[in-house]
Copies of this chain bind each other. A is one copy, B any other.
């Protein structure tokens, strides 16, 4: 395997690995960590970790309102982070709202869009897909409870793709919002979100893309996708926890009422009447997570310095290797057939509970995830007991894949 890397000549994986201190860890005494739970959260390169320390050792202050030197430094670091996010996804800086993560971004959108749509909700529908993460289901259900809006679900075909035929029927004149995941965190399927956005726009609906899993390896361009909003988490793109983004197209952003109330999001407060700020700040109540924004900025710069086409071909190679290796083993079923370069592969083993596999792989130092992956509706359809999910990142080595298979074989020998 090591000799056949023609499509990714430029990525020096061994060098990249040295940038991630945690990859040196031993677990369970003397077993090298094989971290294959990257869809849950990615590890952080030294530059990101150091940018956080440096922030606190040299600059820390509250942004925006502080006129002193630290305040000015920190404000420009925070706004620079916003620009870097914007550049990374083809947006304008004043279309980027910082949040705690994908989940908060989607709650913000569901709440503010819901408030904006008001009475139209009772007559309209929101279109989701069967493969959505709970973060893109529950906020809309909570809105349904408040408003009576209908939720429609685009089903999957048997090979784990969206049924686009059904999608084109479900999106209709009373559709208010279409919200869809770009890359499934469970199946690795890459969806044709730009077509869905086009259909949404054709009926005047707002389109939202959950890019939580795509941002770490895909070049994302919100203009090309044509979405009104796009959300992701810092911690899944080599950045820190507690920070994420919502791109909200300018026209939509200026049209939406605020989500949370507090400092920074106001222009004037009196007990009688409060007026709200324009732009992203209207959605950023309170002290922002500046540390997180700075760390995310460094992480995106780190990502952007890689050639994303190389990352994709390398991750495609890893994904193919995983899928092929799993298919070789009898009794093992790989879910879905459209993994692309996601690095994400879910599988089941006949007669074996996924948790047993996870428990045993762990004792070999191999970290995978088992369960429903926060996609219960999808699980009910494809694997009610859950699946074992292996997910690779750009720093995953072929050697680690080999170690995973070696451990899996030993586990299966015991379990079967």
A53-B53, A135-B263, A137-B269 known; A358 and B67 CB under 8 Å? yes
Q: In the assembled complex, which residues on chain B have CB atoms less than 8 Å from the CB atom of A362?
A: 67-69
B-contact bits for A18-35, CB 8 A (1 contact / 0 none): 000110010110000101
B-contact bits for A340-362, CB 8 A (1 contact / 0 none): 00000000000000010011011
The number of chain A residues with a CB under 8 A from chain B is 93
Q: In the assembled complex, which residues on chain B have CB atoms less than 8 Å from the CB atom of A68?
A: 37, 358, 361-362, 366-369
Q: In the assembled complex, which residues on chain B have CB atoms less than 8 Å from the CB atom of A139?
A: 260-262
Binds B, one of A215-223, A280-288, A317-325, A395-403: A280-288
| Interface presence of A57 (CB below 8 A) | yes
| Interface presence of A226 (CB below 8 A) | no
Closest CB in chain B relative to A279 CB, distance in Å: 17
Closest CB in chain B relative to A155 CB, distance in Å: 11
B100 touches A258 (CB 8 A): no
Residues of A bordering B, CB below 8 Å = 21-22, 25, 27-28, 33, 35, 37, 40-41, 43-44, 48-50, 52-53, 56-62, 65-71, 100-104, 106-107, 110, 128, 133-135, 137-139, 141-142, 151, 153, 233, 235, 240-243, 258, 260-266, 268-271, 274, 285-292, 355, 358-359, 361-362, 365-371, 374, 376-377, 380
Partner of A262, one of B50, B138, B268, B285: B138
B138 touches A269 (CB 8 A): yes
Residue of chain B at shortest CB distance from A365: B69
A66 touches B241 (CB 8 A): no
A66 touches B37 (CB 8 A): yes
A62 touches B40 (CB 8 A): yes
B22 touches A138 (CB 8 A): no
What is the bound-complex CA distance between A358 and B268, given in angstroms?
Answer: 21
What is the bound-complex CA distance between A139 and B266, given in angstroms?
Answer: 12
Tell me which of A67, A286, A361 has the highest count of chain B C-beta atoms within 10 A of its own C-beta.
A286
Closest CB in chain B relative to A232 CB, distance in Å: 12
Closest CB in chain B relative to A167 CB, distance in Å: 15
A100 touches B138 (CB 8 A): no
Partner of A70, one of B35, B60, B67: B35
Partner of A37, one of B25, B57, B71, B371: B71
A138-B285, A261-B134 known; A53 and B49 CB under 8 Å? yes
Closest CB in chain B relative to A354 CB, distance in Å: 10
What is the bound-complex CA distance between A261 and B106, given in angstroms?
Answer: 9
Q: In the assembled complex, which residues on chain B have CB atoms less than 8 Å from the CB atom of A366?
A: 68
A40 touches B61 (CB 8 A): yes
What is the bound-complex CA distance between A209 and B107, given in angstroms?
Answer: 26
A44 touches B25 (CB 8 A): no
Q: In the assembled complex, which residues on chain B have CB atoms less than 8 Å from the CB atom of A285?
A: 103-104, 107, 135, 138
Closest CB in chain B relative to A52 CB, distance in Å: 6
Residue of chain B at shortest CB distance from A142: B261
What is the bound-complex CA distance between A260 and B141, given in angstroms?
Answer: 11
Residue of chain B at shortest CB distance from A73: B27
A107-B285, A142-B261 known; A100 and B269 CB under 8 Å? no
What is the bound-complex CA distance between A57 and B37, given in angstroms?
Answer: 16
